[in-house]
């Protein structure tokens, strides 16, 4: 499992592999992964609409097991939404939508919380102790794999941006007889004056041979 997760290219492919393992190995009907984006949880992949409903209800209502797992505890078990009174808005609404039990497990590394693995079922009391242990192990591997994928994506973006800026500097040097420092300073000034990313300005120069109007 760990090897297959780390073989995936990109965050989305990694998350989809996590969900595939989750629905195969655990006694739940649906699974999703919510990741933190700009300090807000967002569902980036789900196996079917049932778990998407469960996730969106939590985001809309501001309460629920996934939000608790992200902010306070490592895992949250909901044995029956009909009788669980911890979330007076989410639980009855989830039950009305056919969601009877759920398990939310935090995805985290030593340094940060990246999101949560969500499992839901149309049956109450879906989770046994073995399921919780297996889900915790899956979440551990998923946390490492997602963190690695995010780091790789970030590094790839940084390398691509550096290449674009370097190429744009070369174009400006050639066209306007500038030295490298002058060309880079011009790119920076255009980026700041127009509130555009430096890479975006560089890509414009590469594509057109001109600075943005």
pLDDT over threshold 60, residue 129: yes
Check whether residue 123 and residue 191 sit in a common domain.
Answer: no
* Last-in-domain residue among 152, 169, 193: 152
* Last-in-domain residue among 107, 127, 152: 152
> What is the per-residue pLDDT across 185-204, written as a single tens digit (0 to 9) for each?
888 888 888 888 888 888 89
Check whether residue 103 and residue 168 sit in a common domain.
Answer: no
Q: pLDDT-derived band of residue 2, with 50, 70 and 90 as boundaries? A: very low
Check whether residue 62 and residue 135 sit in a common domain.
Answer: yes
Name the residue with higher pLDDT: 188 or 80.
80
Q: Which residue range forms the structural domain that includes residue 32? A: 2-152
- 33-37, 68-72, 79-83, 156-160: which is most confident: 79-83
Q: In this structure, what token pair is assigned to residue 211?
A: 């600075």
Check whether residue 51 and residue 118 sit in a common domain.
Answer: yes
Q: pLDDT-derived band of residue 26, with 50, 70 and 90 as boundaries? A: confident
117: domain CATH number?
3.30.450.40
Nearest one of 41, 13, 18 to 31, comparing CA atoms: 18
Q: pLDDT-derived band of residue 33, with 50, 70 and 90 as boundaries? A: confident
Check whether residue 142 and residue 164 sit in a common domain.
Answer: no
- pTM beyond 0.75: the answer is no
| DSSP reduced 3-state for 13 | helix
Q: Does residue 172 form part of some domain?
A: yes
């Amino acid at each position: 499992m760990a090897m297959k997760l780390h073989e995936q290219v990109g965050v989305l492919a990694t998350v989809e592999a996590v969900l595939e393992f989750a629905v195969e190995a655990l006694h739940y009907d649906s699974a999703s992964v919510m990741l933190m984006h700009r300090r807000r949880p967002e569902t980036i992949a789900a196996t079917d609409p049932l778990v998407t409903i469960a996730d969106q209800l939590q985001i809309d209502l501001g309460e629920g097991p996934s939000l608790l797992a992200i902010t306070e505890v490592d895992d949250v078990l909901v044995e029956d939404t009909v009788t669980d009174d911890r979330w007076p808005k989410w639980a009855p609404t989830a039950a009305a939508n056919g969601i009877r039990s759920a398990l939310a497990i935090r995805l985290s590394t030593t340094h940060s919380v990246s999101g949560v693995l969500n499992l839901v079922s149309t049956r109450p009391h879906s989770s046994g102790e073995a399921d919780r242990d297996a889900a915790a192990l899956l979440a551990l591997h998923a946390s490492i794999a997602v963190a690695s994928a995010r780091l790789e994506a970030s590094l790839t973006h940084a390398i691509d941006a550096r290449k674009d800026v370097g190429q744009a500097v070369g174009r400006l040097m050639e066209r306007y007889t500038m030295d490298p420092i002058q060309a880079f300073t011009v790119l920076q000034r255009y980026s700041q004056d127009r509130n555009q990313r430096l890479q975006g300005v560089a890509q414009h120069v590469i594509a057109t041979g001109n600075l943005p109007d």
